[in-house]
């Protein structure tokens, strides 16, 4: 299982939100490229970037920062979400050296777009499913749909999606542990690999994910915990590597 540091971008800075609320943000760095360097030096094998402004505006806003990080680390897998709602945007990021694009809102509102994107950019598409009480939320988590997460995930199985990033909004940024039972249930219900996100606080939460024995869980995204020092990236990755052996 991969430990994937999150860099959330708002107005060019690296921030963390609580439960997806833009008004409840903490700025951790005005230099996201240097922050990426910190996690790379700490041994991370993939980075998770989110254009928060883009998620709300429906188009990239912090794309220059994403491109700068991708160019600095051409051999590091990078995934980007937030405001990705056109093939042109995907093409821009892929050409910039980004490994994966995460389709969220558009995947919920126009599921056929996911199939189209997978055909155009095979192996590059991840679907981001963010949920409240099992129902998918969209538009920077401002809207909650009537669509069940597991039902939607199954729909994408035939499209060639590389992974699903599942975020429990109630847990995100709260450092109270992630929703292990639902994450494991999602991994069991779909053939698509699942990346857990939201609420990871310490090594105990990583162990809980591993203890779920759900082979479909391939990664865990962590944000506030690594910024506030309750989780060490290198230690957590080493723990995962040893657990897998």
**241, 227, 165, 230: which is closest to 196 by C-alpha?**
165
Can you say how many angstroms the Cα of residue 128 is from the centroid of all Cα atoms in its chain? Answer: 7
Predicted local confidence at residue 243, as pLDDT: 92
Predicted local confidence at residue 174, as pLDDT: 64
Residue 68 DSSP SS3: helix
CA distance 201 to 80: 22
Predicted local confidence at residue 172, as pLDDT: 63
Unique residue bearing structure tokens 């095979």: 122
Q: Is 168 a residue of the active site?
A: no
Residue 208 DSSP SS3: helix
Catalytic member of 51, 130, 159, 168: 130
CATH of the domain at 41: 3.20.20.70
Q: How many residues does the chain have?
A: 245
Q: Is 30 exposed, middle or buried (0-12, 13-18, 19+ CB in 10 A)?
A: exposed
Predicted local confidence at residue 168, as pLDDT: 87
Domain tally for the chain?
1
Buried (b) or exposed (e) across 118-137, using 16+ Cβ within 10 A? beebeebbbbbbbbbeeebb
Maximum pairwise Cα distance, the chain = 44
Supply φ then ψ for residue 16, to 5 degrees: -130, 140
Q: Is 205 a residue of the active site?
A: no
Predicted local confidence at residue 169, as pLDDT: 82
Q: 172 near 203, Cβ under 8 Å?
A: no
Q: pTM for the complete prediction?
A: 0.94
Range of the domain at 122: 2-244
Per-residue pLDDT of the chain (245 residues; tens, 9 = 90+): 999 999 999 999 999 887 777 888 889 999 999 999 999 999 999 999 999 999 889 999 999 999 999 999 999 999 999 999 999 999 999 999 999 999 998 999 999 999 999 999 999 999 999 888 888 988 766 688 788 999 999 999 999 999 999 998 876 666 678 899 999 999 999 999 999 998 899 999 999 999 999 999 999 999 999 999 999 999 999 999 999 65
């Amino acid at each position: 299982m991969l430990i994937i540091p999150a860099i959330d971008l708002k107005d060019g800075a690296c921030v963390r939100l609580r439960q997806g609320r833009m008004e409840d943000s903490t700025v951790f760095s005005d230099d996201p490229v240097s922050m990426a360097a910190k996690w790379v030096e700490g041994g991370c094998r993939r980075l998770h970037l989110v254009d928060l402004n883009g998620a709300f505006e429906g188009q990239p806003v912090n794309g220059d920062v994403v491109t700068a990080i991708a160019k600095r680390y051409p051999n590091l897998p990078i995934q980007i979400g937030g405001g990705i709602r056109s093939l042109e945007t995907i093409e821009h990021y892929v050409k910039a050296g980004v490994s994966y694009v995460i389709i969220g809102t558009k995947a919920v509102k126009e599921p056929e777009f996911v199939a189209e994107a997978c055909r155009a950019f095979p192996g590059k598409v991840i679907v981001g499913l963010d949920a409240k009480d099992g129902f998918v939320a969209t538009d920077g988590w401002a809207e909650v749909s009537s669509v069940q997460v597991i039902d939607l995930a199954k729909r994408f199985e035939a499209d060639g999606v590389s992974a699903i990033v599942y975020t429990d909004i109630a847990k995100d940024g709260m450092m109270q542990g992630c929703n292990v039972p639902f994450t494991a249930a999602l991994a069991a219900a779909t053939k698509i690999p699942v990346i857990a996100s939201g609420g990871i606080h310490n090594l105990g939460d990583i162990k809980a994910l591993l203890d779920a024995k759900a082979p479909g869980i391939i990664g865990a995204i962590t944000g506030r915990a690594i910024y506030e020092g309750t989780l060490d990236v290198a230690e957590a990755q080493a723990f995962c590597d040893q657990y897998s052996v």
